[in-house]
């Protein structure tokens, strides 16, 4: 295998297991020095276990090292960036992959769960990028030929479709799309790319899916056959020089299928050129001009329950 990322330094959050571990492994195999940032928490973000990160670093081998502090504060993000920079002298790649789940129907929602999920799945990504991007930008400014800066945010189709009981998770994951777009714009002049990837893979999380209907049950059965390696290969591609022109995009990877998503843009328009709208005129215009563009109220589990290509 060619070591196309030779000498690069990558931070991968949540790399102790699951999809993050596959990504860290693939980046390491491609020649990168990888910081496995994982506090080893349970799916709901409790019970930290530092052995998870250390074991992953040993398993991946090479020059990989572990950072096991929980990533839910600007201080932890800064400590992670300093650790990577002190250990390897630079940072080229940041993969925001760590996430937790605290599912419940909105009408049974607990604001504490909202705070925890937003903090881990969205704010932590912002904290890490706020801490790491000054360094990435300085590296780019110091060398006009530097074209190695890469940011990948691991999102979820739940953020774009919604799913039963996932108000906290879907909101955080949808937030990552706004973060991806804004960061892609902010870093474009420095030649640093930022993309979002929605993965499908069998992990401990997939195993806990409680199907709400037959269609979702089919999704689960099929998702349990999807290795995470395909996602890791795609993230490695995004980090390669060959993907220098790819930024601000939203992808999904499901086995050997790679999707690019459209991003919310106006689909149809109705306009009243004569006078202000009233409820009555809107009731007619929405049905006549916009209704055919409504987005179906289906979940991502129903939309992606087709037979996987693996
Ligand atoms: N598995 C799928 O099919 C699927 C589908 C959609 C999205 N995703 C996304 O992919 C990513 C990886 O998911 P996974 O299924 O591998 O999950 P996982 O639970 O197996 O792994 C997540 C890792 O993140 C770590 N982590 C969580 N909070 C942390 C924190 N605050 N600080 C440091 N580490 C922390 C955990 O210890 C864990 O090792 C997540 O962002 C998830 O939302 C996965």
pLDDT in tens, 72-92: 999 999 999 999 999 999 999
CA atoms within 13 A on the CB side of 130: 13
Query: What confidence score (pLDDT) does residue 272 get?
Result: 97
Closest atom, ligand 1, to C-alpha of 231: 10
In this structure, is residue 284 part of a structural domain? no
In this structure, is residue 197 part of a structural domain? yes
The rounded Å distance from CA 27 to ligand 1 centre is 17
Closest atom, ligand 1, to C-alpha of 68: 33
Domains identified in the chain, total number: 1
- What does the alpha-carbon distance between residue 21 and residue 57 come to, in Å, rounded to a whole number? 9
Residue 106 φ then ψ, to 5°: -60, -35
Query: What confidence score (pLDDT) does residue 48 get?
Result: 98
In this structure, is residue 28 part of a structural domain? yes
The rounded Å distance from CA 154 to ligand 1 centre is 9
The rounded Å distance from CA 100 to ligand 1 centre is 6
In this structure, is residue 281 part of a structural domain? no
Antiparallel, parallel or unpaired: β 250-254 and 257-260: antiparallel
Residues with CB under 6 A from ligand 1: 13-14, 16-20, 37-41, 43, 45, 52, 70-72, 97-100, 120, 124, 154, 156, 198-201, 203-206, 223
Residue nearest to atom 40 of ligand 1 (CA): 99
Q: Which residues span the domain enclosing 245?
A: 9-263
CATH code assigned at 61 = 3.40.50.720
The residues assigned a catalytic role are: 169
In this structure, is residue 301 part of a structural domain? no
- What does the alpha-carbon distance between residue 64 and residue 32 come to, in Å, rounded to a whole number? 9
In this structure, is residue 2 part of a structural domain? no
The rounded Å distance from CA 290 to ligand 1 centre is 38
pLDDT in tens, 154-202: 999 999 999 999 999 999 999 999 999 999 999 999 999 999 999 999 9
% of the chain surpassing 90 pLDDT? 93
Query: What confidence score (pLDDT) does residue 285 get?
Result: 98
Query: What confidence score (pLDDT) does residue 193 get?
Result: 98
The rounded Å distance from CA 247 to ligand 1 centre is 23
Q: What is the pTM of this model?
A: 0.97
Token duo for residue 286? 């929405």
Q: Which residue has the higher pLDDT, 165 or 145?
A: 165
Question: Is residue 1 over pLDDT 80?
Answer: no
Mean pLDDT of 277-292: 98
Residue nearest to atom 43 of ligand 1 (CA): 99
Q: Average pLDDT over the chain, rounded to whole?
A: 96
% of the chain surpassing 70 pLDDT? 100
User: What does the radius of gyration of the chain's CA atoms come to, in whole angstroms?
Assistant: 21
Token duo for residue 54? 């250390």
pLDDT in tens, 101-140: 999 999 999 999 999 999 999 999 999 999 999 999 999 9
Q: Residue 219 — very low, low, confident or very high, per pLDDT cuts 50/70/90?
A: confident
In this structure, is residue 122 part of a structural domain? yes
In this structure, is residue 74 part of a structural domain? yes
Closest atom, ligand 1, to C-alpha of 48: 37
């Amino acid at each position: 295998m060619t070591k196309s990322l030779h000498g690069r330094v990558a931070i991968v959050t949540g790399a102790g297991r699951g999809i993050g571990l596959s990504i860290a492994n693939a980046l390491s195999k491609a020649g990168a020095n990888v910081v496995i940032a994982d506090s080893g928490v349970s799916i709901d973000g409790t019970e930290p276990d530092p052995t998870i990160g250390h074991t992953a670093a040993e398993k991946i081998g090479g020059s990989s090292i572990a950072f096991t502090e929980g990533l839910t504060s600007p201080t932890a993000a800064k400590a992670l960036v300093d650790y990577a920079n002190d250990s390897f002298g630079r940072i080229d790649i940041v993969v925001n992959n760590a996430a937790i789940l605290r599912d419940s129907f909105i009408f049974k929602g607990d604001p504490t769960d909202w705070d925890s999920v937003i903090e881990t799945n969205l704010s932590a990504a912002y904290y890490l990028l706020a801490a790491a991007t000054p360094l990435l930008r300085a590296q780019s400014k110091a060398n006009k030929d530097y074209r190695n800066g890469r940011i990948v945010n691991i999102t979820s189709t739940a953020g774009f479709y919604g799913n039963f009981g996932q108000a906290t998770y879907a909101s955080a994951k949808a937030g990552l799309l706004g973060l991806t777009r804004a960061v892609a714009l902010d870093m474009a002049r420095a030649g640093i790319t930022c993309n979002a990837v929605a993965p499908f893979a069998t992990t401990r999380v997939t195993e806990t899916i409680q199907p709400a209907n037959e269609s979702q049950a089919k999704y689960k059965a099929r998702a349990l056959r999807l290795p995470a390696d395909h996602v890791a290969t795609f993230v490695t591609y995004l980090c390669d020089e060959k993907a220098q022109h790819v930024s601000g995009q939203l992808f999904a990877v499901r086995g050997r299928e790679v999707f690019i998503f459209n991003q919310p843009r106006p689909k149809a328009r109705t306009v009243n050129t004569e006078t202000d709208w009233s409820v009555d005129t809107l009731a007619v215009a929405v049905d006549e001009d916009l209704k055919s563009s409504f987005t179906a109220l289906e979940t991502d589990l129903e939309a992606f329950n087709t037979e996987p290509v693996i």
